[in-house]
Each structure stands twice: as structure tokens, then as C-alpha cells.
A and B are shown apart, each in its own frame.
Chain A
Amino acid sequence: MTSDSRLEKILSRGDFAVTSECGPPRGADPEVIQKKGALIKDSVDAINVTDNQTSVVRMSSFSSCVILKQMGINPVLQMVTRDRNRIAIQSDILGAAALGINNILCLSGDHQKFGDHGKAKNVYDLDSIHLIQTVKQMRDEGKFLGGDDIKGKPRFFIGAAANPFADPFEFRVVRLAKKVAAGAQFIQTQCIYNLDRFKQWMQLVRDRGLHEKVHILGGVTPMKSLGMANYMKKMVPGMDVPDNLIARLKGVPKEKQADEGIKISVETIQQLREIKGVHGVHIMAIEWEEMVPGITQEAGLLPRPKVE
């Protein structure tokens, strides 16, 4: 074990893992994150907390993780390299470790143009692969990037993201290989709607033997409505929503579209479980966390295994 992470324990003993995420509030009220955490606590093994996703300012991922930790939840600290240089990043890694956070998801982050502070300066001192290397070096070698020794190594289970649907397609697996080589132990993917393309990607992953070196958790986001599906298809870069899915949602009355969206997610999870090399799912129910218990129940993922 490289950390005390519950997620790491579950994945390394071969159980199919379930993670989810909570978006922190746009305010200082801890109850928002507590409520979200309580809703999904027993349905998942770990909960990611997004780091100012889509560059919209929110409560920090770090503090939200601490709030979840206090509730007995195993949080995954998402960290983007958009807002911090290597000094702040290493400092936050030490701080998070000190407060018992033991999962980190290393990301580059959405460009600030998408958020509510489009005039901001971005940092990108490191990219996401450098961030993986940084955490690994701090943990395994006990050294800062500058070369000095760390007194009290931070122990983390290191994660990264992969988007099998972005371009160029052939490069996506190369990039995954680089992340694995850098030290990523688990991968959470972008929302999967196009299962054929995902399977194609997984084949390339297996061809390189990467599925034996890293735990891949398939991303699942339930569609609330036809409108959301259309938005995701047209407006979100790097998102692949096939036409047959749109047609399926269109085929049911408006008030039944949410149910249909849940049904699609459950079916996706069931199909993902059958794919060799997929070791878990990451359910991102965006501002719809209350649906996670139902989805996991329907997909036969409950009860979650106990960990010592």
C-alpha cells in the first residue's frame, strides 16, 4: 500500500470500485457539502471534490475534503495546475496529507475562459503529468521538486484523468501511458456515452498492457433531460454524445426523461463492468447527487465492501 486510502485498498484487492463526486458550494456554508456527502456516503468508496470546476470560484477542494473526511468519508482531492505554481502545490500536498487526505486526482483544469473570472491570469507552472510526478517524488523519494528532503513524507494514492473521446484519438492512449509512467495509480475517465468508442480505446489500453498497471474507473454522468444531452453534445469540448442516445431521450415524454437518463447510466455501468481492465466506475451526478444511491442500487453495486 502506498497510502491509507480506502479506495486504494478496495482496488488493490480486486474489488470493483465506485467513486462519485461533490461540487463544493459557491459560499462558505459547510452544510452544503455535508449534505451532499451524507447522501452518497454509503453508496460509494470514495468521493472526489472538484477544484473550481469549469473555472467557477467555489469553496476549495481542500477544505471540502476535510469536511467530508470528518464524516468518515474517503475524499479524493482534485487538484488543478491552473491556479497554483509548484510552491503552492507542494505546500497544499503536505497540508492535505497532514489532515488525513490520502487520494489526489491530478488535473490541468479547465481554462479560465470558461468560468466567472475570464480576466484571470493562469499559472500552468506544471501540467497534469508533472503534478503526478511531483506527488510521486514527494511520496516515494521524500524530496521536494527543488531537491531538498521532506521531513514526513505525504502518502497519497495518485490518480489522473483520461478523456478517451478527445482528439487526436490515437494520442489519447499515449497520453495515458505517460500518466502511468509518471506515477498514476488510478484513472477516472471523462463521462462515457459512446461505449463503442470507449471499448475501442480500452482495446488500445490493453494492447499496451496499461490495464495491468493502472486501475481504470469509467466515468458516468446521468442525463437529467434532453436539453442537458444536447448541451453536452454541442457545448462541452471533448464530450462525445452519440445521436442514438439523444434519440432515446427524445423518444420519451419530458417528465420521463430523467428516469430514462438514470436507466441509461445503470446500463452503462453494467456494460462497463464487463469490459476487461475496467476496475470501477466514477459517477458524476452533477448537482444531482441524490440519484447516486439509486443508480448504484440498480446497477447492483451495493452494499459497498467493508475495509479494515
Chain B
Amino acid sequence: MIIGKGKPIKNILAMIENCSKIIVAGCRGCVTVCSAGGEKEVGILSAALSLARETDGKPIEIKEVTLERQCDPEYLETIRSFVDEYEAVVSIACGAGVQFMAEKFRKIPMYPGIDTNFIGVTETQGVWTERCQACGDCKLHITGGICPISRCAKSLLNGPCGGSSKGKCEVNPEVDCGWQLIYDRLKELGKLDQLEIIIPINDWSTGRDGGPRKIIREDLTL
């Protein structure tokens, strides 16, 4: 899922400084699961913003909504009837959600209430880690199911750099060396010979380097 983290409330307060009536909009997708932008976080952020504004002597009216998803147009339509009655929307969906809202509701400003960080997993409750950088050309079949692009700080394709020490990355001793993980996994699978193969120079054009991406499925389009 997409993992995000709430922005400092001070930053959000600065965005809505001149507003007296806003919507705080959550999303029931990924950001609900990673506790960054679901219904509960909408409640907490709204309470915090309204407390802060009352403390400042500038009370604010906040409408709390949580959409099924902010990345699908039909769910955005559920707020169309009242969205223009407000001065701004603070969306705590991922960056895609905030942008899609901005595209669909053109009259009012759309502000991000969270930072969108990565595509990852819930390692244990309250701990999320990155797994994928959406490079558009998956190589997991040759690296033991562990991605060198997202899990090596240098995205090296041919083995650990000289900074791999005791299984940890030179960048941060709390982070596993991705290539150590690949090595261990291939060893478990009895496939260490796979590491002898030089993974060729990568085609990054399938990733963000190729420009904004688009997928069209002719069998599904209307």
C-alpha cells in the first residue's frame, strides 16, 4: 500500500491561515490502513486544528468527510454538492488523492495534510517499511523476491557495495542491506549461482525517468 505520515500541524495551520470554513477529507484506502489519513485521523486533525484556531481567537468551521477513495472519480462525486461552500480542502489522502481532488474541484484550493512517503508494508503494528519504487520493470524473479532498487540505498543491481556491514546498510545501521537480504534468500533457496549473472544496465524509461506514466487497458475502457 501507499504509506504516508501526517504533516506537522503547524504547517497545515499555515496553509489554512486565512480560511474560516474548511473541509478535512480522509480516504478509506491505503492511508486508512497506515493510520495517516482515515476517518480517525480526520477526527484527530480536525480537533487539533479547531483547538489551535480557538486558542488563537480565530475559530474555524471544519466539515469532516472520509471518502471511500480519493483516487477514483465516482467517490469524489459524493462531496460535489457541498464542496464549493467551503474555502479550502485539507486532504489527508496520498498525493494522488490530493491531486485528483484538485483536478475535479477547480474552484477551491486543495492542501495536503500528509506527506506521501512510499509503497510499503506493515512490518509490525505501527511500523511500515518500503518495498517498491514503481520502476515499471519488475526484477524480483531474479533477486530472490527482494527488490534491489527499493531496498539498496544506491539501487545497485549487481550486489552489495563495500559499505555493507553485518547485514546493515552504510547509510543507516537500522536499515538492512538489501543485497545481504537477497544473498540470504537465494542461499536459502539454493540459488546462489543466480548471483553470478550480471544484471544488465537498466532501462529506467519505464520508471519516472520516462515522464508521467499512463496505462490504458482497451478491454476495460468505455
Contact = CB atoms under 8 A, between A and B. Distances in A.
Interface of A: 82, 86, 108-111, 113-114, 122, 124-130, 133-134, 145, 161-163, 166-168, 171, 174-175, 177-178, 181-182, 190, 237-238
A182 B201 contact: no
Contacts of B165: 166-167, 237-238
Q: Which 8 A-B pairs have the closest CB atoms?
A: A163-B162, A237-B170, A237-B163, A127-B156, A129-B158, A175-B159, A238-B162, A237-B165
Given A111-B171, A174-B195, A167 B177 contact: yes
A113 B164 contact: no
Given A133-B201, A178-B159, A181-B198, A168 B153 contact: no
Contacts of A130: 157-158, 200-201
B166 interface: yes
Nearest to A109: B154
A166 B163 CA distance: 7
Contacts of A122: 154
A168 B204 contact: no
Contacts of B158: 127-130, 175, 178
Contacts of B161: 108, 128, 166
A295 B99 CA distance: 63
A50 B160 CA distance: 21
Contact of B153 (A86, A111, A126, A171): A111
Interface residues of B, number: 31
Given A111-B171, A178-B196, A238-B170, A171 B154 contact: no
Interface of B: 153-167, 170-172, 177, 179-180, 183-184, 192, 195-196, 198, 200-202, 204
A145 B180 CA distance: 29
A125 B204 contact: yes
Contacts of A182: 198
Contacts of A161: 162
B156 A124 contact: yes
Contacts of A134: 201
A111 B198 contact: no
Contacts of B170: 110-111, 114, 237-238
A124 B157 CA distance: 10
B195 A168 contact: no
A294 to B, nearest CB: 28
Candidate in A86, A111, A127, A145 with the most chain B CB atoms within 10 angstroms: A127
A182 B200 CA distance: 10
B160 A166 contact: yes
25 contacts: A82-B154, A86-B201, A110-B163, A110-B170, A111-B163, A111-B170, A111-B171, A113-B171, A113-B172, A124-B154, A125-B202, A127-B155, A128-B158, A128-B161, A130-B157, A130-B200, A167-B165, A168-B180, A168-B183, A171-B160, A175-B158, A178-B196, A237-B165, A237-B170, A238-B162
Contacts of B192: 174
A127 B172 CA distance: 20
Contacts of A166: 160-165
Contact of B164 (A82, A125, A238): A238
A145 B201 contact: yes
A190 B201 CA distance: 25
A110 B195 CA distance: 23
Contacts of B155: 124, 127
A178 B198 contact: yes
Given A113-B171, A178-B196, 10 more contacts: A108-B161, A124-B154, A126-B201, A127-B154, A127-B156, A127-B157, A167-B167, A237-B164, A238-B163, A238-B170
Nearest to B148: A127
Given A133-B201, A167-B180, A174 B154 contact: no
Contacts of A127: 154-158
Contacts of B200: 130
A49 to B, nearest CB: 19
A68 B154 CA distance: 31
A127 B180 CA distance: 17
A231 to B, nearest CB: 15
B183 A171 contact: yes
Contacts of B160: 166-168, 171, 175
A177 B196 contact: yes
Contacts of A114: 170
Contact of B166 (A133, A162, A167): A167
A113 B163 CA distance: 12
A237 B172 CA distance: 10
